[in-house]
Amino acid sequence: MTPEQEIKQAALQRGGDQVGIAAVSRINECAPPGHRPDDILIGAKSVIVLAGRTTPRGAWRSPDYRTHYNNRDFPRVRTGIAMAVAKFIESKYGYYSIGQVPPPIGFNPSLSFKLCAEMAGLGARSMAAGILLNRELGLLNFAVCITTMPLTADQPMADSVCPHPSCVELWQKHKSTPCLDVCPECLSGELEGERIKWMRYDRRICSTRAQNEGMGALQRIVLEGTNEPDPERRKTILLGSFSRAVMEAVASGNVTGQCSECVRVCPIHREAQKLTAKMPTAEQLTEGNAQGRVV
């Protein structure tokens, strides 16, 4: 087994659904100074990108959005997987590695995980909130391990994934797509033939709609609660069911980045959430692990 295969297998065994490798030199052709892997780890040569299903497939079948949110478990475990891979590389191969990039999210993250994942061939940009999609997993969620170890990189996908043929048909008839229909406030764009002509995702609107149980909400509750002169209203703000939900979400790391309603209606994502009648055998899974591709 090559070092690349061994590292990928280690990542898959610890809970990643797919894993790819990107060269730092390739990422640096697109990432601006200050947001490159070697700004974070001196001498970085490779980025191992771990992709996971955000939730088990069943979570997309719940009519209760809280069930869906609470089943978003990959974002909770992804850093642990990346950290385990970093330690594996350091102990087995003797190259400096890290598994956490602060801050990984927000309006000015240190590194674009999406860019790393594109370069690692895991997915391609879509009209739905600019997220990366692939046909096996649909919506992708990421963690990265940055290492000074030179590794053979995977190649970006040759073909785009979005738009789905049904979206092309819909565009020809109605000049819209399912994702644009669901969220016209945040999303806009046009298709040209079977490709995206242009797209815009307004993350400022998206974050205020979707990130209503995160750290920002907690800070707002504290500010509004302490400024509220009426004791009964103050009590409701600080001790009510909304503040409890926010504190539970922050304490358990169950923070929602996006509501994903634009993804829920995406035919590529919907197909990826279907359980096939015949699941892969243990032998097929082992073989898939060795190749770094497991559905």
- Closer to ligand SF4 by CB, 97 or 258: give it: 258
- Closer to ligand SF4 by CB, 40 or 131: give it: 131
Indicate the DSSP class of residue 95.
-
- Closer to ligand SF4 by CB, 82 or 262: give it: 262
Q: Whole-number minimum distance, CB 271 to ligand SF4, in Å?
A: 10
Distance CA(74)–CA(60), nearest Å, equals: 14
Token pair for 164 = 């789905």
- Closer to ligand SF4 by CB, 150 or 184: give it: 184
Q: Whole-number minimum distance, CB 148 to ligand SF4, in Å?
A: 36
Q: Would you put residue 94 in left (φ > 0), alpha (ψ -120 to 50) or beta?
A: left
Q: Would you put residue 275 in left (φ > 0), alpha (ψ -120 to 50) or beta?
A: beta
Beta strands at 141-147 and 46-52: parallel, antiparallel or unpaired: antiparallel
Stretch that binds ligand SF4, among 12-20, 151-159, 180-188, 273-281 (CB under 6 A): 180-188
Q: Whole-number minimum distance, CB 174 to ligand SF4, in Å?
A: 12
CA-wise closest residue to 51 among 149, 166, 154: 154
Find the binder of ligand SF4 among 22, 210, 217, 246 (CB under 6 A): 210
Amino acid letter, residue 140: L
- Closer to ligand SF4 by CB, 27 or 263: give it: 263
Find the binder of ligand SF4 among 44, 51, 268, 294 (CB under 6 A): 268
Find the binder of ligand SF4 among 10, 132, 149, 259 (CB under 6 A): 259
Indicate the DSSP class of residue 157.
P
How many CB atoms neighbour CB 209 within 10 A?
14
- Closer to ligand SF4 by CB, 48 or 259: give it: 259
Residues 143-162 that bind ligand SF4 (CB under 6 A): 162
Q: Are 268 and 135 in contact (CB under 8 A)?
A: yes
Find the binder of ligand SF4 among 59, 183, 255, 272 (CB under 6 A): 183
Question: Which residues have C-beta within 8 Å of that of residue 176, sequence separation ≥ 6?
Answer: 170
**Residue 223 exposed, middle or buried by CB count within 10 Å (0-12, 13-18, 19+):** exposed
Residues 67-126 that bind ligand SF4 (CB under 6 A): 126
Count, residues near ligand SF4 per rule CB under 6 A = 26
Chain residues in the site for ligand SF4 (CB under 6 A): 126-129, 162-164, 167, 177-179, 182-183, 186-187, 206, 209-210, 258-262, 266-268
